[in-house]
Structure 1
Amino acid sequence: MVFFDDDFIPSSSALLGIARTFEAFPEVTGLTGTLLADGIGGPGLELEMAGQIIDCWDAEAKTAEAVASPRELATRIGLYGCNMAFRSTAIGEIRFDERLPLYGWQEDIDFSARIPGRKIVTDGLVGVHCGIKRGRERGRLLGYSQIANPVYLWRKGSMKGRFALKLCLRNLLSNHARALWPEPWIDRRGRLRGNWRAIIDLCLGRADPERILEWQ
């Protein structure tokens, strides 16, 4: 079972590479690939640029080498949702949590963390994640999810407390730091308002990922 974001551009032999990786590592139940570029931390990459990066990679025959002998580069508890694949037998009755609504921030980590077995990063799957910003969730809604969702997943047991705290603090601090001089592609002030609304809800004992459905 393969999941690609609509702004993820895979190499020409990505699916073959996934199959070969599962063949090479029979104990592995899930995997995520190697990104040649990721635009999620910036303004995003245009599809044309992503296509050029992939074409250069394929032209150098690097894809064929990786597919012929895929390597395990690291192990992971949760996988990056822009490109991940699982054995269907490992998924079983596990489904995405519908209590993480709209953009579903961290749903990839939650879903993959609940898949039993070993999960890895591999060079058998290669691609580019454009990180396109158009169509993403409004700032205040995502800001609420940046705090409420990790806390919910920690309580649920699919996210470690240290990692959840790291996510919350990182987003809260970065939104504070950039609120006065925000990037053109990020609604920092909206995210900050959402962060604090979630913190207040946590203090009042009513924080819930689904509360953002009330504010659309």
Structure 2
Amino acid sequence: MRLAVIIPTLGRRGQVARLLRYLGDQTRLPDEVIVSAPDATHVELPENCPFPLSLVFGPMGSSAQRNTALVPSLARFDIITFFDDDFVPSTAYLEQVEKAFVENDGWAVVMGKVVRDGATNAGLTWEDAEAALRATEGKKHDGPSVVDHVGAYGCNMSFRSSLVGDLRFDERLVLYGWQEDIDFTSQMRSKGRVVCVTSIKGVHLGIKTGRVSGKRFGYSQVANAIYLIKKGSVPASFVLPLMFRNIAANLAKSLRPEPYIDRRGRLRGNMLAILHIARGRIEPEYILKI
């Protein structure tokens, strides 16, 4: 099978260069890596890549950048893997992804198990990631080896290209695109299973640069959730508890916020979105005006 890796990026030149070098150590090299950025200033390329490497430029935002690379790739590759620019896959990651698709015709989306996630804390370093991956070597996972999901975590997700069809990432989910990954992959469930294979591993560094402001993010935490329910792409039973947990966390921690999270900004964004929804306004792209 022909396999491409797509890496959307914004403002992380050094991180992208390091990830590209690291992908050269995969036991199954990608047939091509495509970096999607607003322009060339966001990308630093390493020398002597052991795989074909291309750049695509287009509108800024996670959904738009994913689509810019996805659309011309569908006819060229059997598997398309998306990595965030701050995701560190195990060296056997792509080999295991290909094996999963070859052996399971009914699978539409495959993601790996995130063994550590810096998005939930101050963030992780490459050294943290490599140590975490070494610690999992040879260890058997407790629990099921395959877990079905409503949707896939966008930091690492792979699609069977033949099943994507006309589906695209929703570009109304602008900038950081909160939940654009779940929106897309939840719709893929009509074509096959969306699964996490727990033997496929990686670490999400959760780098904080290149992200939107606290107020914008807080607005998206509410507005995007309601928008996706209205759209019908994500079940309310999944997205509403997530939305309420985020509001509750922002409210509870706004008195003594973590130094790496703008809790008060997020809470202001939450409240603004709730006000807009109460007035019948469901507009994810409003964050462009904040």
- Common fold: TM-score over 0.5: yes
Which of residues 195, 204, 217 is equivalent to 1:129?
204
1:176 aligns with 2:255: no
Other structure's SS at 2:210 match: coil
Question: Which residue is equivalent to 1:188?
Answer: 263
Which of residues 162, 170, 190 is equivalent to 1:97?
170
The AA in structure 2 aligned to 1:145 is: S
C-alpha contact 1:14 1:124 (8 A) present in aligned 2 = no
What CA distance in whole angstroms lies between the structure 2 residues aligned with 1:61 and 1:162?
A: 36
- Provide the alpha-carbon RMSD of the alignment: 1.7
C-alpha contact 1:110 1:158 (8 A) present in aligned 2 = yes
Question: Which residue is equivalent to 2:154?
Answer: 81
Please identify runs of 4+ aligned residues in structure 1 that moved more than 4 A: none
Question: Which residue is equivalent to 1:25?
Answer: 104
Which of residues 152, 156, 164 is equivalent to 2:239?
164
Question: Which residue is equivalent to 1:112?
Answer: 185
Write out per-residue CA displacement over residues 58-106 of structure 1, whole angstroms, 9 at most, x where no aligned residue. Answer: xx456xx99xxxx742101211111110100111111100000000000
Count of residues in Structure 1 that have an aligned counterpart in Structure 2: 207
What CA distance in whole angstroms lies between the structure 1 residues aligned with 2:148 and 2:223?
A: 27
Question: Which residue is equivalent to 1:151?
Answer: 226
Structure that is richer in helix per residue: 1
Write out per-residue CA displacement over residues 31-75 of structure 1, whole angstroms, 9 at most, x where no aligned residue. Answer: 111122111111111122112323454xx456xx99xxxx74210
With 174-183 and 44-53 compared, the bigger mean Cα shift is at: 44-53
With 190-199 and 205-214 compared, the bigger mean Cα shift is at: 205-214
What CA distance in whole angstroms lies between the structure 1 residues aligned with 2:176 and 2:246?
A: 16
Write out per-residue CA displacement over residues 180-210 of structure 1, whole angstroms, 9 at most, x where no aligned residue. Answer: 1000110000000000000000111123101
What CA distance in whole angstroms lies between the structure 1 residues aligned with 2:98 and 2:228?
A: 30
Write out per-residue CA displacement over residues 8-49 of structure 1, whole angstroms, 9 at most, x where no aligned residue. Answer: 100111111000111222211111111221111111111221
C-alpha contact 1:21 1:124 (8 A) present in aligned 2 = no
Question: Which residue is equivalent to 2:7?
Answer: none
The AA in structure 2 aligned to 1:88 is: S
What CA distance in whole angstroms lies between the structure 2 residues aligned with 1:162 and 1:76?
A: 13
1:213 aligns with 2:288: yes
TM-score (norm 2): 0.68
The AA in structure 2 aligned to 1:211 is: Y
With 46-55 and 36-45 compared, the bigger mean Cα shift is at: 46-55
- CA shift in 2, pair 1:162/1:61, >3 Å: closer
Percent identity for Structure 1 against Structure 2: 46
Question: Which residue is equivalent to 2:64?
Answer: none
What CA distance in whole angstroms lies between the structure 1 residues aligned with 2:181 and 2:232?
A: 14
The AA in structure 2 aligned to 1:110 is: D
1:7 aligns with 2:82: no
Other structure's SS at 1:123 match: strand
- The structure showing larger relative contact order (alpha-carbon pairs under 8 Å, at least 6 residues apart) is 1
C-alpha contact 1:139 1:189 (8 A) present in aligned 2 = yes
Name stretches of at least 5 consecutive residues in structure 1 with no aligned partner: none
TM-score (norm 1): 0.90
Which of residues 38, 50, 56 is equivalent to 2:129?
50
